[in-house]
Amino acid sequence: MSQNTHSFMGTTPIKPLLLSMSAPVMLSMLISAIYNLVDSIYVAQVSDLDFLALSYAYPIQLLMIAFCTGTGIGFSAIFSKKLGEGDKKTANLVAFHGFFLYGCCWLLFLVFGLVGTPVFFHFSTSDPVVMDAGIRYLTVCCIGSVGLCTQFICERILQATGHPAGFMIVQGSGALLNIVLDPLFIFHFGMGVTGAAVATVIGQICGGLIGLTLLYRIRAQFPLSIQGVRIHWSFLHEIMEISIPAIVMQSLSSFMSLGLNQLLTLWSNTAVFVLGVYFKIQSFIFMPAFGISSGLIPIIGYHVGAKNPHRIRSVIRFGLQLAIGMGVFGMVLLFLFAPFLLKICFHATAQTLDMGIFALRLASLSFPLAAISVIFSSVFQALGRGVLSLILSLFRQLLFLLPFAAILLLLAPNWVWLCFLLAELCTAIITLICNRRILKPLLNTIA
């Protein structure tokens, strides 16, 4: 590990360190969320049924992100730890295994894109127009996801080696290209929902190529080499021991989205439309918190290797303050602009507008509480307690959320959106108990 990286991670004051690690990630994720939102806005202008197709496809897209994010969590934790120990040779081996695992992720997505998308939409909807649009969109996204996988591994290496701006460049460049290409493919070439998928895939592939270029440019600091390198099952086991619980935990968002879609379908297609809008906006608002949590992981991993619990406690405290602040800001933002987003951006009908404004405002009350769970989940993962993070996310996204939604749909359907607040409140209480009884004693053992 270079002296520059050691000085940056080990001696930079905590607040500037977390901001420098998180801000580019936050910005790049916000750009990514914006282009995802823009994608949906363009498609909504084509037809409500096409937007419904994207809403039904959303759980699978979340599942793809879950595999990439979960793999990245395990990779970042081990890779950053080796850098913190000063073991440059082993860090190179970990990087090689990271590329191998992301290659496996792409093969999995490819197989699903070729054979799984028709089956998925057959069970999701009976509308032939929605089904056809969804199959076309999701097939392109899955087959072309090699760019997505390449982006993730490049971003994690750049971030952990003290180049967090690389994260922003990789993801931001692909996102901006997608924004430019969307109207071209959707409207000019008349490809509709398929054009949105093509623009997304092209943006991701270009972002991945830029990531590989940036890794080549930092070769003097951290040279990646495959000479004499082979697969070691011990490394795969070490990474996947953290990654598998993280993948399962991240996948809960997909199952939560799928479950809510199915529940709301029994009540109203308008509610499914509103839920699709909410998830698009929610991802935009939550991305800063996810960026902060992403910045925490390599910092905590490094200082576990460097045996510095004081800096770990400080960065957790500051990260929590930032994330809660972002949650409050997002809540206020959605309260103010819910009518504008629904009417102007998504061309909502009068019926959808009435339901949507109430739904978005009610659901937004959960944002500050969600920030608590998001931050501590990453903290537990970085400290090798992935199973605990999985349990907390299981409570938050399935065991609390879906039963609350089902009960509210049965008793007072219009208030079903309150399920988000109730689930986040219960999970936040459990998270704070785990912090006091598990995290604090765990940090005392690092010395």
- Angstrom distance (rounded) from CA 237 to CA 249: 18
What is the mean predicted confidence (pLDDT) over 302-321?
84
Q: Domain ranges in the chain? A: 3-444
Instruction: Say which range, 73-82, 158-167, 231-240, 298-307, has the weakest mean pLDDT.
Output: 158-167
- Angstrom distance (rounded) from CA 24 to CA 172: 9
> Across 71-75, 136-140, 233-237, which has the greatest mean pLDDT?
136-140
What is the mean predicted confidence (pLDDT) over 154-183?
81
pLDDT of the residue at 32: 62
Going by C-alpha positions, the residue among 283, 259, 270, 260 that lies closest to residue 356 is 270
Instruction: Say which range, 101-115, 192-206, 243-257, 414-428, has the weakest mean pLDDT.
Output: 243-257
pLDDT at 195 over 70: yes
- Residues whose CB is less than 8 angstroms from the CB of residue 119 and which lie 6 or more positions away in sequence, other chains included: none
What is the mean predicted confidence (pLDDT) over 27-41?
70
Determine phi and psi for 208, rounding to 5 degrees.
-65, -40
pLDDT of the residue at 228: 64
pLDDT at 7 over 70: no
pLDDT of the residue at 164: 65
Distances from the Cα of 393 to the Cαs of 61, 113, 372, 399, 415, in angstroms?
18, 27, 12, 9, 23
pLDDT at 361 over 70: yes
Percent of the chain with pLDDT over 90: 30
**pLDDT tens digits, residue range 63-82?**
898 898 888 888 888 887 77
- Angstrom distance (rounded) from CA 102 to CA 79: 15
- Residues whose CB is less than 8 angstroms from the CB of residue 215 and which lie 6 or more positions away in sequence, other chains included: 154, 157, 158, 224
Q: Between 62 and 386, name the one with better pLDDT.
A: 62
pLDDT of the residue at 35: 65
pLDDT of the residue at 328: 94
pLDDT at 220 over 80: no
Going by C-alpha positions, the residue among 313, 421, 410 that lies closest to residue 363 is 421
pLDDT of the residue at 315: 87
Q: Between 116 and 225, name the one with better pLDDT.
A: 116
pLDDT at 1 over 50: no
pLDDT at 438 over 70: yes
Going by C-alpha positions, the residue among 61, 33, 294, 69 that lies closest to residue 176 is 33
Calculated CA dihedral for residues 382, 289, 259, 404, nearest 10 degrees: 100
pLDDT of the residue at 268: 83
pLDDT of the residue at 426: 95
